[in-house]
Amino acid sequence: MLQQIKIIKKAYNQTFDNYIKGISDLDLLPKSFLNSKEFKKIKKCNSSDPDIKKYLNPKRNMKFLDVGSNVNFITYKLYNWPSIYYGIDISEKLINAVKKFAKINKIKIGGLYVYQADKTGFKNGFFNILACTVQGVAMMFYT
């Protein structure tokens, strides 16, 4: 399992490096896959979907955990939600970039941490709502 986590971590760091260089990972995928109906279904499901916010119904002082792909914090302006944002990711580069963005823009957050999804360091019941994005597929939960 540890080897798989290392591979995933390396891939996420590479994705971040590509983004900084202006390279979209989507440009690296075969056109046949990008044009497939399966990919189009996956692509429609992301953190910008208004149904996600409606479903989670974030309220003031609710603790919201974003598991993986914390760039959603910036891209979809999750910092505008009334809940308290916490993010975890296995990519140090991604976490550091989001921390820098929050600091530069003086955005108050609960915290950003380099953790695996199964080893967060938080006690059960700490969060009220949770979103998890894994390779573009968003999952939402109430805790």
Give the percent of the chain with pLDDT over 70.
Answer: 81
User: pLDDT tens digit string along 55-90?
Assistant: 888 999 999 998 886 777 887 788 899 999 999 988
Q: What is the pLDDT of residue 120?
A: 81
- What's the burial of 60, exposed, middle or buried (CB within 10 Å: 0-12/13-18/19+)? exposed
**Residue owning tokens 């996956």:** 42
- pLDDT average, residue stretch 2-12: 72
Which pair of tokens denotes residue 93? Answer: 């580069």
**Residue owning tokens 């798989």:** 4
User: pLDDT tens digit string along 104-116?
Assistant: 999 999 999 988 8
